[in-house]
Amino acid sequence: MEDELYTIEGDSQLKRSNTMKRIRKIIDDQNGSALMVLAETPEYIQAYLKAGVKMFEIHGGSIFKGWNKHITLQPTSLAERAENLQIVREMTGEDAYITSGHANGCFTSPVMPVPFTYNDSFVLSAAGADGCHSHKCDWKDLENLVKIAHRYGLVVEAYISHSKDKYHYFGLPADTPADVSKATKRMESIGVDLIGIMSGQTYVGLQGHSISPDVKDRINALVDTATVPTFIEGGMTMDTYKEFKDTGIQVVVIWTAFKEMAMKTVEDAAKQIIAYKPKR
């Protein structure tokens, strides 16, 4: 498909332009720093919508197939991802922002390389995706992904990480604030529409700690350099989210903390019911 001529360049640009306007409106409406969550289950989505959440990520597993024995989501085919997107779009309406990566095709895959293709981009866009959520750690791979996603009007989210982080392969390497600034400019030059930074703090939601000074310096470098919307992922909790938002970052991405809080609430309620001694 990529070798064919197209008459949709204008349409694709229009979709991306409208998406960016919607993202900036969401950010403005949420006091300059919006919340993006992972659309994991229909029940969670309903709760998020009632709270006013407008930004949703469809991640690499099916939200309807359930959990396997390792407590990880089962990978989805492109068709299943498209079906999930259509369902989530129907639930959220057209004024929400929905982003999706296709399994590992948009992520770094060190064991078995998985491609992200023009067909993937077309199917995700047609199913209701606004954005392509990516975690590539190679510049050429990211550049190619941007071209493929833009072909069908998807905006691209890409991340910066630290080479010594446990999840360093979730973003382009940039260890110092100066490196972050350079990486940000380079990402914008190749067409990345939204730039995020991996906090490197923690992936255990309720055990997150205050932002370390070096992480804060790197976040500041991103915020001060970027002309596109900025993201932060990793380590946000009810104890730390204010610190992250106070840096000027425009979108905070949270999943684990909400999941852990929900599980703890259910656990505590069940224990209370079980422990109750009937009066008769």
Say what the pLDDT of residue 204 is: 39
Q: Where are the beta strands (DSSP E) in 105-247?
A: 131-133, 155-161, 172-173, 194-198, 230-233
Q: Give per-residue pLDDT as tens, 77-106.
A: 888 888 889 999 999 999 999 999 766 689
Secondary-structure class of domain 9-275 per CATH: alpha beta
Ordered by start, the domain boundaries in the chain are 9-275
**What is d(CA 76, CA 83) in angstroms, rounded to the nearest whole number?**
10
Question: pLDDT at position 209, please?
Answer: 62
> Which amino acid type is present at position 218?
R
* Interacting residues of 121 by C-beta distance below 8 A, sequence separation 6+: 132, 148, 149, 151, 152, 154
- Residues near 255 by beta carbon (within 8 Å), at least 6 away in sequence: 37, 38, 40, 59, 205
Is the pTM higher than 0.75? yes
Q: What is the mean pLDDT of the segment spanning 153-182? A: 93
- Can you read off the two tokens belonging to residue 128? 């209701």
Give every CB contact of residue 262 below 8 A, 6+ residues apart in sequence: 44
Identify how many contiguous H helices and E strands the chain contains and give both numbers.
9, 9
